[in-house]
Structure 1
């Protein structure tokens, strides 16, 4: 019985360390890319309701970890998500390069190796775009 309890605790700890685990998304910085390829001013998102909507949308991304992707054009948005894992540790930053495609889906490339290259369907791409830019 003791071995089962120890194994259960170990599995819970390992599951907590996966992805963004026991983290809190604190804020999001978004930079829109102009048609010339320059980054425009940074938009800071700190409203927790809006952050939760964006976080829920990112859960819907179909990730392909360890995939190296190249895009023909510069991204439409650069989003930096700031997570805190522990109040005594600095925030961890994950960057997402986001393309909104002509078929109204989205392509996302993450600097988090557990995520990598991802796609978002039409409905969720629209939600993401709306919440990042409004």
Structure 2
């Protein structure tokens, strides 16, 4: 009986160790399934203008790497003083037999400090920020600069 308990405890500790050592978060697995990005730019009259559809693999790969750098704060819904600069709709293909899943990202590019603020409609992400270098990369791709 005591040996069984010891083996059970060792097995649980080992399983927790394996789970804890995985270096990919759920968001990283999701980002690997990214296949397309539609970009809508907010115009001066606050309406949306469809700017571009991104499908080429090289640009998608750069976007995957950039989105992995976002520091997310789940369950946070901040109030922003102005409309977003860009709405990006990311398309993910998780299974060949199912249709794509879409997530919307409202993105503000902060001119004062060069960072970006992102609000996702995915409740696991919520509110996020992006540092200066990654924000510039994201801005260049989404605004076609």
Query: What is the root-mean-square deviation of aligned Cα atoms in Å?
Result: 2.7
* Aligned 8 A contact 1:54 1:132 in 2: no
Secondary structure, in 3 states, of the residue corresponding to 1:19? Answer: helix
1:75-94 alignment, distance < 5 Å: 75-94=84-103
Deviation at 1:27, TM superposition (A): 0.4
Moved more, 118-127 or 37-46: 37-46
Deviation at 1:59, TM superposition (A): 0.6
**Alignment partners' CA distance in 2, 1:24 and 1:105:** 26
Moved more, 17-26 or 69-78: 17-26
Flag the 1:21–1:79 CA change in 2: closer, same or farther, 3 A: same
Q: Which residue of 2 aligns with 1:131?
A: 141
- Between Structure 1 and Structure 2, whose CA radius of gyration is higher? 2
Deviation at 1:76, TM superposition (A): 0.1
> Aligned residue pairs: how many?
132
After superposing on structure 2, the runs of 4+ consecutive aligned residues of structure 1 that deviate more than 4 Å are none
Secondary structure, in 3 states, of the residue corresponding to 2:26? Answer: coil
Deviation at 1:11, TM superposition (A): 4.8
**Alignment partners' CA distance in 2, 1:114 and 1:35:** 31
Moved more, 33-42 or 81-90: 33-42
* Aligned 8 A contact 1:97 1:109 in 2: yes
User: TM-score scaled to structure 2, two decimals?
Assistant: 0.79
Structure 1: runs of 5+ lacking an equivalent: none
Pairing partner for 1:33 from 42, 46, 51: 42
